[in-house]
Amino acid sequence: MNTGRTVCLVQARSSSSRLPGKVFQPLPTLTVLEHCLLRLQKANVGPVYAVVPHDDQAIQGFLEERGHSFIAGPLDDVRRRFLMAAEVLDAEYIVRATADNPCVDPYWVQKSVEETIAQKADLFAYSGLPLGCAVEVFRTDCLANLRHGPEAADPSEYREHVSLHIKHHPELYRVVRKDSGSPQDITS
């Protein structure tokens, strides 16, 4: 499968306000975060990296101990973390997943990347999948070259929610959502 220069980026931090350390919870032998990373690797669409806060020593140490790749950036600007990773990795497409979704489905990750490229979408996502199984795929240049105005004018929610500025401006970005049909069993 030709996936262009695609990378899978998992936003992760250990300082969750609702459930601190939730990414370290075991399920049963691997953690929530490890399940997410390994399932993305099974999709085989590109390298898999966690994007983590630069001051989050707990998660960085955890990833280093287990041999997982990561790129660190600012805690309060997740979009900047994604941009930094995309630049370092020379990514054309980004598969975005969150570390608290251990059931990311490799099949739907592959299909999402294929659809993004085929549809020439700026952002693509499937609907109708069980919560936690889907990902978003978007073009790196949609993060780097903001079509809606200067980054300095962005509300803080655009820094926290990586692709929200794309979704809020469908007149400027090609946003494609496709119904998955009947939800399938989650692949192993």
CATH number, domain with residue 31: 3.90.550.10
Average pLDDT over residues 53-62: 95
Q: Assign 13 a pLDDT band (cuts: 50, 70, 90).
A: confident
In a domain, 85, yes or no: yes
In a domain, 57, yes or no: yes
In a domain, 187, yes or no: no
Report the alpha-carbon distance of residue 155 to residue 7 in Å, rounded: 26
In a domain, 93, yes or no: yes
Per-residue model confidence (pLDDT) at position 19: 60
CA 30 to chain centre: 20
Per-residue model confidence (pLDDT) at position 43: 97
Range of the domain at 151: 6-179
Q: How many domains does the chain have?
A: 1
Query: How much is the pTM?
Result: 0.89
Report the alpha-carbon distance of residue 165 to residue 50 in Å, rounded: 22
Beginning with the edge strand found earlier in the chain, give each strand of the sheet holding 123-127 in spatial order: 70-73, 48-53, 6-11, 93-98, 136-139, 123-127, 175-179
Per-residue model confidence (pLDDT) at position 48: 98
**Percent of the chain residues past pLDDT 90, beyond the cut:** 57
For residue 181, pLDDT beyond 70 = yes
Q: What is the pLDDT of residues 59-113, one digit of tens each?
A: 999 999 999 999 999 988 899 999 999 999 999 999 999 998 889 999 999 999 9
In a domain, 186, yes or no: no
In a domain, 188, yes or no: no
- Mean pLDDT of all residues in the chain? 87
For residue 153, pLDDT beyond 90 = no
CA 75 to chain centre: 16
In a domain, 184, yes or no: no
In a domain, 25, yes or no: yes
